Amino acid sequence: MKFFIDTADIAEIKEAHALGILDGVTTNPSLIKKSGRPFKEVAKEICDLVDGPVSLEVTDIDCEGMLKEAAELAQYGDNVVIKLPLIPEGLKACKRLTEQGVKTNVTLCFSPVQALLAAKAGASYISPFVGRLDDIGQNGMEIIPQIRQIYDNYGFETEVLVASIRNPIHVLDAALAGADVSTIPFSVFKQLVHHPLTDKGLAQFLKDWKEVKA
């Protein structure tokens, strides 16, 4: 499973990148706002920093406007993936961009049938938001194996990119369900590596090592 980081914070991207296991970045308008920086400047910096795909989201809500924005965003780097909302106009834009050979990430997906539509429109990635479903009392992770099965049934190549991840169990369940990608907030990235028994065990090894004669 590929690991993307879900942030527009350059320091977080650099730290995750330094681990050597970062495959890409996803952003959205709210994450850009949180960065406190001008969109173009931060988007270009992210594209230069990371080799893998960088999802940049359009903000227009009609197909022609989305296509115009996509043409502008595509200039920020060869690794740009155009993020489109899962609405009828977004699907139209997805189809058109796919025909032009542009990579797309269809976002704000909350059901397996929405994911089926995105795949039929040729999306490179589908982003089901598991955490936001949990937030309204549904088990968000339930839709991931369903999307996996639908895509496998029909041989769709759209990659399942699990989004709105809130904790390490979401990452575990995404991997068990055969998701292609998890996009992970920096806070969860840090949680993934730590285990109290690792820290305790290492402290004991280092303590005992001091008492070993060379």
Nearer to ligand E4P, 33 or 200 (CB): 33
Report how far residue 127's alpha carbon sits from residue 109's, in angstroms, rounded to the nearest whole number: 6
Nearer to ligand E4P, 81 or 102 (CB): 81
26: contact with ligand E4P by CB under 6 A = yes
Q: State how far the alpha carbon of 48 is from the alpha carbons of 54, 77, 137, 178, 189, in Å.
A: 10, 7, 39, 30, 21
| Site size toward ligand E4P, by CB under 6 A | 11
Q: Which of 40, 83, 95, 190 is catalytic?
A: 83
Q: Which is nearer to ligand E4P, 61 or 202 (CB)?
A: 61
28 sits near ligand E4P (criterion: CB under 6 A): yes
210 counts as catalytic: no
* Interface residue with ligand E4P, options 3, 6, 91, 179 (CB under 6 A): 6
Binding piece for ligand E4P, criterion CB under 6 A, among 11-19, 32-40, 126-134, 186-194:
126-134
Report the residue from 132, 146, 178, 180 that binds ligand E4P according to the rule CB under 6 A: 132
Smallest gap from residue 152 Cβ to ligand E4P (A): 23
Catalytically active residues, by annotation: 83
Query: What is the contact surface with ligand E4P in residues (CB under 6 A)?
Result: 6, 26, 28, 107, 127, 129, 131-132, 163-164, 183
